[in-house]
């Protein structure tokens, strides 16, 4: 077994929902898709990951899917989603925590369990690696594993990580991908006649 500190290869660890998969935005928060037909990758995900791959990074998705443990979606549905994801993206690993909110485990972010496990399996040098996420727990998990972190700020009404790793996307991902419709320009008020 390769110890993570002795691994050689750099990696980018990626959160799933809000990073490569389009979540459902509601009430200033985001939710994982619960039906296979609602599972969509961001249109630029494949090309972006291909660039990271060409730059020499291993790519691993590390995702909390508590809806499985909470009984809101079947294990097999999430597996089917991840099959689509691995077919369309150049991923080296996909790790998911399926434990529900009431269950104690070592894998759910902000714990670094999934990152450490992947690092051991693939021989990753965590000090040369990055964790990319849209929630504070992603950033905390990355820091706990000794990675640099990139926070994609989608403007949730949830506590954000401190500013050490804030990255403001130049593209307003939240608006572009949510179901917001263009609001028709209101008609100009009629000219005032004197």
| Contact partner, 18, from Mg ion, Zn ion, none, Cβ < 5-8 Å per class | Mg ion
Q: How far is the CB of 176 from Mg ion (least distance, A)?
A: 16
- Would you say 45 or 109 has its CB closer to Zn ion? 109
Show the 3-state SS of the chain: CCCHHHCCECEEEECCECCCECCEEECCEEECCCCHHHCCECCCHHHHHHHHHHCCCEEEEEEECHHHHCCCCCHHHHHHHHHHHHHHCCCCEEEEECCCCCCCCCCCCCCCHHHHHHHHHHCECHHHCEEEECCHHHHHHHHHCCCEEEEECCCCCCCCCCHHHEECCCCCHHHHHCCCCCCCCCCCCCCCCC
Catalytic annotation present for 92: no
* Residue 108 binding target from Mg ion, Zn ion, none, CB below 5 to 8 Å by type: Zn ion
Binding span for Zn ion by CB under 5 A among 33-41, 100-108, 145-153, 165-173: 100-108
Question: Which residues contact Mg ion (rule: CB under 5 A)?
Answer: 15, 17-18, 134
Q: Does 97 bind Zn ion (CB under 5 A)?
A: yes
User: Footprint of Zn ion on residues 35-94 (CB under 5 A)?
Assistant: none
Residue 107: name its binding partner from Mg ion, Zn ion, none (Cβ under 5 to 8 Å by kind): Zn ion
Within residues 162-181, the interface with Zn ion by CB under 5 A covers none
Is 15 in the active site? yes
Tell the smallest beta-carbon distance from residue 73 to Zn ion (Å).
15
Residues labelled catalytic: 15, 17
């Amino acid at each position: 077994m390769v110890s993570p500190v002795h691994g050689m290869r750099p990696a980018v660890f990626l959160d799933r929902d809000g990073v490569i998969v389009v979540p459902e935005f509601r009430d200033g928060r985001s939710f994982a898709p619960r039906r296979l037909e609602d599972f969509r990758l961001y249109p630029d995900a494949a090309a972006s990951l291909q660039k990271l791959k060409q730059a020499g990074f291993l790519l691993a998705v590390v995702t909390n899917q508590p809806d499985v443990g909470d009984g809101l979606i079947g294990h097999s549905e999430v597996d089917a989603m991840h099959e689509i994801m691995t077919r369309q993206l150049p991923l080296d690993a996909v790790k998911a925590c399926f434990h529900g909110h009431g269950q104690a485990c070592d894998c759910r972010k902000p714990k670094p369990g999934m990152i450490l496990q992947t690092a051991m399996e693939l021989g990753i040098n965590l000090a040369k690696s990055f964790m990319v996420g849209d929630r504070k727990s992603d950033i905390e998990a990355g820091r706990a594993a000794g990675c640099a972190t990139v926070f994609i700020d989608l403007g949730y009404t949830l506590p954000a990580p401190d500013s050490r790793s804030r990255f403001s996307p130049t593209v307003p991902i939240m608006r572009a991908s949510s179901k917001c419709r263009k609001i028709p320009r209101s008609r100009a008020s009629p000219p005032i006649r004197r």
